[in-house]
Amino acid sequence: MKHLLYFFFLLLLAGCSSTDRPEIPAVTQFDIHRYAGTWYEIARLPNFFEKGLQNVSAEYTLLPDGMIRVVNRGVKNGKEKSISGFARFAGSANTGELEVSFFRPFYSPYRIIRLDPEYTVACVMGKNTSFAWILARTPELPPEKLVEAVNFLRKNGFAVEKLIYPAQEKK
């Protein structure tokens, strides 16, 4: 029984030392009106819900009640896929920290950790450093902007060597 308690305690400690990175702050002086619109996925860390998706984009629309409609689109095996959900601010409306739900009442963290002043390139993370995206207003990024975003993620502990760069149709 004593060994079972030690095992349980070690399991509990292992859970506490996850890759959660709350010290990576969300951007401040955030303006949801400027962020709204279409963003193209330039790169992402692998995740099960986007496996095999190409031509990935997300559209954010501010609703009158303060909620944000989120529509994610992509193409898998030649077929267009989409999912709609909602986002809300996790705290202050001037901080880029949201909670997103595609299956209410369950919400997931969505933290904008880098955003250029022109609102054209963003780095976003989920609940920990296993979830990251580089987004842009255009389907392609100039190489120097992509390098800046990748270096930012690397500096903050993300496994950038695992990034997936989905194909994007040129618009």
Task: For 68-134, give the DSSP string.
Answer: EEEEEEEEETTEEEEEEEEEEESS-TTB-EEEEEEETTEEEEEEEEEE-TTS-EEEEE-SSTT-EEE
Mean pLDDT value of segment 109-119: 97
pLDDT digit string (tens) for 159-171? 999 999 999 986 5
Q: CB–CB of 14/123 below 8 Å?
A: no
- Distance CA(48)–CA(59), nearest Å, equals 20
pLDDT digit string (tens) for 1-42? 333 222 222 222 233 333 444 589 999 999 999 999 999 999
Higher pLDDT, 79 or 17: 79
Which pTM does this prediction carry? 0.85
Mean pLDDT value of segment 133-144: 97
